[in-house]
């Protein structure tokens, strides 16, 4: 067992081979410094009592597995790379913002701007995600078990968004080449976002993403949405759409 800062003593059976951090006794800064320490080779981490604190586990840049027991605040796992992280509670705004690779899994709900500007990796939210889920995503994959709020995938450029519930207003507004799959209803589509046919390769893609997220939904229940490609170049005749 490795303890950080003033971590209380735990039994070897609970923590063998695991670095344990109790954020009721240690600061977020101390945790993040330990995660960024090039001399630290720990690969298993357990974080207790996050209590909704912000900026936990930001900037991870190495392969490790972490479980966070409880709720996390704003910008959890921002600028994430390589690690596999699970949160047993809910997450605040900006979950996994600018994620590059790895996996971030939230067992509860997430607030707005999930995986904003994300370039790669997989972000899973078992519950609902609020407004602007996947805003400006650039290659990240997102799977939401519940609903997403308004303006999700706004200006999304690349990657895949899978919604197992419903989607709010203006889904995919000003979309580029991100592919969106929704199982439930869509309240409204944003500018230049249209429904597209589900071909065999799309069913396979949805199935792979659902499996990666640990879900058992039927891929044939999903509909596909994507860019109508009318806004790639300015056209005076289409100016009302800009």
What are the structure tokens assigned to 69, written together? 């027991």
Please tell me the predicted confidence (pLDDT) of residue 231.
Answer: 76
Mean pLDDT for 204-226 is 98
CA distance 78 to 76: 6
Please report the domains of the chain, with CATH numbers, ordered by start residue. 1-49 (no CATH), 51-215 (2.160.20.60)
Q: How confident is the model at residue 234 (pLDDT cuts 50, 70, 90)?
A: low
When mean pLDDT is compared across 8-22, 52-66, 192-206, 213-227, the lowest value belongs to: 8-22
Ordered DSSP codes for 156-212: --EEEEEESS-B-TTBTTT--S-EEEESS-BS-B-TTEEEE---HHHHHHHHHHHHH
The model's pTM: 0.91
Q: pLDDT tens digits, residue range 60-74?
A: 999 999 999 999 999
pLDDT > 90 in the chain, percent: 86
Instruction: Average the pLDDT over each of 2-11, 49-58, 103-112, 130-139 and give the range with the smallest value.
Output: 2-11
In tens, the pLDDT along 93-111 reads 999 999 999 999 999 999 9
Overall size of the chain counted in residues: 242
């Amino acid at each position: 067992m490795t303890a950080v800062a003033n971590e209380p003593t735990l039994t070897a059976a609970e923590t063998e081979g695991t670095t344990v951090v109790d954020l009721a006794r240690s600061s977020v800064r101390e945790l993040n410094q330990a995660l960024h320490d090039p001399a630290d080779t720990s690969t298993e981490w357990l974080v207790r009592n996050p209590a909704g604190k912000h900026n936990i586990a930001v900037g991870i840049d190495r392969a490790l597995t972490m479980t966070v027991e409880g709720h996390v605040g704003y910008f959890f796992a921002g600028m994430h790379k390589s690690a596999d992280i699970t949160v047993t509670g809910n997450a605040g705004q900006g979950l996994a913002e600018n994620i590059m690779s790895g996996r971030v899994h939230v067992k509860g709900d997430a607030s707005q701007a999930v995986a904003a500007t994300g370039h790669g990796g997989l972000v899973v939210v078992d519950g609902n995600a609020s407004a602007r889920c996947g805003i400006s995503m650039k290659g990240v994959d997102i799977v939401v078990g519940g609903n997403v709020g308004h303006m999700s995938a706004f200006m999304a450029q690349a990657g895949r968004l899978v919604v197992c519930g419903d989607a709010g207003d203006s889904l995919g507004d000003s979309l580029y080449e991100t592919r969106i799959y929704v199982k439930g209803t869509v309240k409204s589509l944003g500018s230049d976002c249209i429904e597209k046919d589900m071909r065999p390769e799309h069913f396979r893609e949805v199935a792979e993403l659902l499996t990666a997220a640990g879900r058992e939904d039927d891929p044939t229940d999903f509909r596909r949405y994507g860019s109508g490609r009318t806004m790639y170049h300015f056209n005076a005749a289409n100016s009302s759409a800009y």
